[in-house]
Structure 1
């Protein structure tokens, strides 16, 4: 087994709850002092001027109460199960790597398309990767969309991804970072291939046992 695929010693520390806590704390700080958003949200011009930490911090900043509420609910419901399966160290690495890489790719796209004034924030890129991991680990799990519509986890994840792809093509200026969501999904997929030597497609398309 090579170094890239060497597993961490398993331990479960409820890291997901710490991530939720950090997001909530930062959102409160944003409400108290809105200028904090200027330093944390990803902005192409600021990054070119040395604000490189924004590749990480954009994941912990949010633009509204509904924004953080839905993201943290998704992280709570899907992240807890993924962390328990992966272990806390692996989960934290997965979350941060996919989120940062989604931010890097978004920066490149924004810069080369001239979208210099965008402020990218939110955990959605990493959350798409977490949802992919959940559907890969628990392909027979049923998720109740809006608390009503029952869907198998792979159907939900692939459906959301298809919707994001459609939106990125036809609604690029909508203000929603569809490309960041897709990037999180793509880097999550790549993480499984490289780190676990596992193709998520095999699990997402398997039939119920």
Structure 2
């Protein structure tokens, strides 16, 4: 796990350790892991609900398969997104979207509870919901949500928005598809499943909630690149580095006479040589950025890292 970036690696480790502890703690009479009843997210009108569960639920999982699929997706897409954003911004995004997904799930459960009560109780109104909740406490305590899926879907969305044209494989499709269509496909499946009521105990609206929170957060960051986590941990937005490099190249071209050594020969030859050198440098930066997109920041050599950060700091 040496090449996995810090936050992604620690999230993987923490989730696995918590699942092992939960498994060793045993299950209740219904076969549910006991710790999930304490740290899973309960419906907010249930007696067992606590505000801290909006954070802890995303580190709990129902089964090993549930954990495996979530951690595989976290490793697959989280490594890339964290390498682009940096650790602090990535962690903030992950936790915030996980909490947002939990809030979506709470809203969905409230709507479900209201419709069930209105269907079974004559003349039911919104003012009666507290009394009905008290009478249904035992049932509501069973509405428990666990899993990192809301945050994972937000990471999936981030990958699709950062690299929309990147082609990836989806089993069982025989050909790769672009990341933006991959994300749209998953969002469509979740929306259809939520509307159709399919999927059993799967919290489809929580998955969508994570994506919705992630979408608006990324849109905000793009419109306000210098606010919040515009630069996390001193790491650059690699996606924006190319544009910054082009702007610096234009400024350098305008003021090159102040920095370039004296050239013999015609001014036409000097300009040609200067532009050729700038073109070579830009191609090197493009190659480095493409390498980051394919294999992550850690795949760069020491020389490539130095060139990248020298170009980002050059005025």
TM-score (normalizing by structure 1): 0.83
Unpaired stretches in structure 1, ≥5 consecutive residues: 1-11, 199-209
1:93-112 equivalence runs, <5 A: 93-112=92-111
Distance 1:173 1:152, change over 3 A: closer
Q: Does the CA-based 8 Å contact 1:106-1:180 persist in structure 2?
A: yes
CA distance in 2 between counterparts of 1:30 and 1:46 reads 25
Matched, 1:86 2:85: yes
Local SS of the residue matching 1:175: coil
Which residue number corresponds to residue 202 of structure 1?
Answer: none
Larger mean Cα displacement after TM superposition, 165-174 or 183-192: 165-174
- Is structure 2 residue 184 aligned with structure 1 residue 192? no
Alignment partner, residue 20 of structure 1: 12
Partner of 1:3: none
Match of 1:113, SS state, is helix
Distance in 2 between residues matched to 1:191 and 1:43, nearest whole Å: 26
Question: 1:194 offset after TM fit, Å?
Answer: 2.0
Residues 47 and 54, structure 1, Cα contact 8 Å, conserved in 2: no
Aligned to 1:139: 164
Task: Report the RMSD for the aligned CA atoms in angstroms.
Answer: 2.1
Do structure 1's residue 158 and structure 2's residue 184 form an aligned pair? yes
Cross-structure match for 2:145: 120
Residue range with higher mean Cα deviation, 166-175 or 86-95:
166-175
Number of residues paired by the alignment? 187
Matched, 1:53 2:79: no
Q: Per-residue displacement from partner, 1:23-77 (whole Å, max 9, x unpaired)?
A: 1011001101132111111111576655111101110101111110010000001
> d(CA) in 2 for partners of 1:48 and 1:196?
41
Q: RCO greater where, 1 or 2, for CA within 8 Å and sep 6 or more?
A: 1
Distance 1:112 1:144 in 2: 37
Q: Kindly tell me: are residues 159 and 42 of structure 1, through their superposed partners in 2, closer, same or farther at Cα, counting changes over 3 Å?
A: same
Structure index of larger Rg: 2
The TM-score with structure 2 as length reference comes to 0.56
